[in-house]
Chain A
Amino acid sequence: MEGVDLVAEEGQFVSIVGPSGCGKSTLLNIIAGIETHDGGSVAVAPRAGAGSSRPHIGYVFQSPRLLNWLTVQDNIEFVLEAQKVGRERWPGLVTKQLDLVGLPGQERNYPLNLSGGMQQRVAIARALAIEPDILLMDEPFSHLDAITARKLRYDLMEILERARPTILFVTHDLSEAVFLSDRIYMMSTKPARIFRRVEIDIPRPRKPDDAAVFDLERELVREFFSVLEGPA
């Protein structure tokens, strides 16, 4: 991987789009600090007004990765405890996040009693609960069926209108990226590098069937194929 320079401004939704195997997930793991890198640097500035010096990083994975033996509430409290958030704030944070992701009253339920889409909502609530300076999302809708994914994608827009974290979103789905993002970085394989940065100023709230979203997607798809396949 080389020449991967990307910047996300505070409160911005930034997507990284590329074919599988281009190292998108590796990039997120390096930012999260769970994979090592041998060159280059990563800097995450704490949100303005946040007290702590170490940045809080939220992560939503492809699969929910919930602890199935814990209730929904305990799953969220797990990361609160991990991040050493004061215990007196837990009940408020749990309730707030569950309301936000559309699962009010599910505190005492166990993950395996929830549908895949609901489990992913819990995973989003968990990541938001630590009030992240940056929220990393690694193809969070790719494991869901098309209809559930579409609904959740739409709801994510609304959730983010209210929570407003900075987001780094990895996907191979261009239409998803165009629909959600303020900025897109497009990556290619061999070598893994960013070949294009696109600013999207389609006004929000957007609709999935927005003509502007469609047009931009089509344009970017064309561009993608010309880069991936090289000159014919």
Chain B
Amino acid sequence: MRENRLRSFGLRAASILTLVVLWWAGSRLMGDPKVLPGPWRIAQTIFANLTTPGPEGESAFFDIAITLARIFVTFSAAMLAGLGIGLAMGLSRIVERSLLALIPLLLTMPTVLMVFLAIMWFGYSEAGGLAAVLVVVTPYVAVNMYEGAKAMDKSLIEMARTFRASRRLLLRRVYIPQLMPYIFSAFRYAFGMTWKIVALAETFGLKYGIGYMFSFWFEQFNMAQVLAWVILFVILMLILEHAVFARLEARAFAWRPSHSF
């Protein structure tokens, strides 16, 4: 187990390193830092952005904080809405029938289009970003929760009823643990969608934030800065994904005989 984890970590590190080397070789071949700056140059730019005030008078930490706050708020709202709707669909036939036709409609809507629509309706405001995330992410979470509720093991519910478990005990010990895998898979996917939408909304309309900095430097045609912000963003999201979610998940599923993440 331990050896396996070490090996998989080594493989991952090696493949990322290969990519960086290819990038470096490409930039050397190209020979024009305006088109493809090398990795070292980008690392320096990121460092400078983090330590010195940018074009709006704030360092990159400010934009990171803004983006993370937007992700956190919109993600929480979409998760809560999706959990509620999905469970209601799983537990009530009326809700199930009325929403089942609606959800595929929302799921097929192209994400970029939703961001544009939200900005047209709500203007360049925080509400626009929130609306876009809610419309795109909520149906996905709801579908996952709905499937989780449907897949619950009826024989365990029957067992609990035989032993006269109260509704609360049933929820705590039987329902929620069975929903956990669905909650987590919805959680991860929804998080991935949320940060993409927030970045998109920032790029197109919102003031401040990492996406806003993309578009700012894009308009200046500054390749080094655009790449620096993109890579900073990716690193940030990878850290969140692995340091936070993977750990939570490993803890929640400790009961599985051989879980590997």
Query: A57 an interface residue at 8 Å Cβ cutoff?
Result: yes
Contact with B along A60-79 (1 / 0, CB 8 A): 01010101111100000011
How far, in Å, is A176 (CB) from chain B's closest CB?
22
The answer to whether A83 touches B164, judged by C-beta atoms less than 8 angstroms apart, is yes
The answer to whether B169 touches A59, judged by C-beta atoms less than 8 angstroms apart, is no
Query: B159 an interface residue at 8 Å Cβ cutoff?
Result: yes
Neighbour of A130 across the interface among B160, B163, B173, CB < 8 A: B163
Residue in B closest to A80 when the chains form the complex, CB atoms: B163
The answer to whether B155 touches A61, judged by C-beta atoms less than 8 angstroms apart, is yes
| Cα(A81)–Cα(B156), bound, Å | 16
The answer to whether A110 touches B169, judged by C-beta atoms less than 8 angstroms apart, is no
Residue in B closest to A112 when the chains form the complex, CB atoms: B257
Query: A32 an interface residue at 8 Å Cβ cutoff?
Result: yes
Chain A residues with CB under 8 Å of B156's CB are 65, 67
Query: B158 an interface residue at 8 Å Cβ cutoff?
Result: yes
The answer to whether A34 touches B155, judged by C-beta atoms less than 8 angstroms apart, is no
Contact with B along A153-176 (1 / 0, CB 8 A): 000000000000000000000000
The answer to whether A82 touches B166, judged by C-beta atoms less than 8 angstroms apart, is yes
- B residues bordering A, Cβ < 8 Å? 155-156, 158-166, 169, 173-174, 177, 180, 255-257
- A residues bordering B, Cβ < 8 Å? 32-34, 57, 59, 61, 63, 65, 67-71, 78-79, 81-83, 110, 112-113, 130
The answer to whether A78 touches B162, judged by C-beta atoms less than 8 angstroms apart, is no
Residue in B closest to A28 when the chains form the complex, CB atoms: B162
The answer to whether A69 touches B159, judged by C-beta atoms less than 8 angstroms apart, is no
Residue in A closest to B156 when the chains form the complex, CB atoms: A65
| Cα(A171)–Cα(B148), bound, Å | 34
Excluding A34-B158, A67-B174, A70-B255, 13 further A-B contacts by CB distance (< 8 Å) are A32-B162, A65-B155, A65-B159, A67-B156, A67-B177, A68-B255, A69-B180, A69-B255, A81-B169, A82-B165, A82-B169, A113-B257, A130-B163
The answer to whether B163 touches A112, judged by C-beta atoms less than 8 angstroms apart, is no
| Cα(A71)–Cα(B173), bound, Å | 12
How far, in Å, is B59 (CB) from chain A's closest CB?
45
Residue in A closest to B170 when the chains form the complex, CB atoms: A82
Residue in A closest to B177 when the chains form the complex, CB atoms: A69
| Cα(A69)–Cα(B255), bound, Å | 5
Name 28 A/B residue pairs within 8 A (Cβ), A-sorted.
Answer: A32-B162, A33-B162, A34-B158, A34-B162, A59-B162, A61-B155, A61-B159, A65-B155, A65-B158, A65-B159, A67-B173, A67-B174, A67-B177, A69-B177, A69-B180, A70-B177, A78-B163, A78-B169, A78-B173, A81-B165, A82-B160, A82-B164, A82-B166, A83-B163, A83-B164, A112-B255, A113-B257, A130-B163
The answer to whether A34 touches B174, judged by C-beta atoms less than 8 angstroms apart, is no
How far, in Å, is B89 (CB) from chain A's closest CB?
24
Chain B residues with CB under 8 Å of A32's CB are 162
How far, in Å, is B257 (CB) from chain A's closest CB?
5
| Cα(A71)–Cα(B156), bound, Å | 16
How far, in Å, is B87 (CB) from chain A's closest CB?
19
How far, in Å, is A5 (CB) from chain B's closest CB?
23
How far, in Å, is B213 (CB) from chain A's closest CB?
44
The answer to whether A110 touches B173, judged by C-beta atoms less than 8 angstroms apart, is no
Chain B residues with CB under 8 Å of A112's CB are 255-257
Chain B residues with CB under 8 Å of A33's CB are 162
How far, in Å, is A78 (CB) from chain B's closest CB?
6
Residue in B closest to A64 when the chains form the complex, CB atoms: B159
Q: Which of B158, B164, B180 counts the most chain A CB atoms within 10 A?
A: B164
| Cα(A132)–Cα(B129), bound, Å | 58
Chain A residues with CB under 8 Å of B159's CB are 59, 61, 65
How far, in Å, is B173 (CB) from chain A's closest CB?
6
Chain A residues with CB under 8 Å of B163's CB are 59, 78-79, 82-83, 130
Chain B residues with CB under 8 Å of A61's CB are 155, 159
How far, in Å, is B109 (CB) from chain A's closest CB?
36
Chain A residues with CB under 8 Å of B256's CB are 112
Chain B residues with CB under 8 Å of A69's CB are 177, 180, 255
Residue in B closest to A35 when the chains form the complex, CB atoms: B158
Q: Which of B155, B156, B163, B169 counts the most chain A CB atoms within 10 A?
A: B163
How far, in Å, is B53 (CB) from chain A's closest CB?
50
How far, in Å, is A36 (CB) from chain B's closest CB?
13
Neighbour of A70 across the interface among B155, B164, B165, B173, CB < 8 A: B173
| Cα(A29)–Cα(B172), bound, Å | 24
How far, in Å, is A178 (CB) from chain B's closest CB?
27
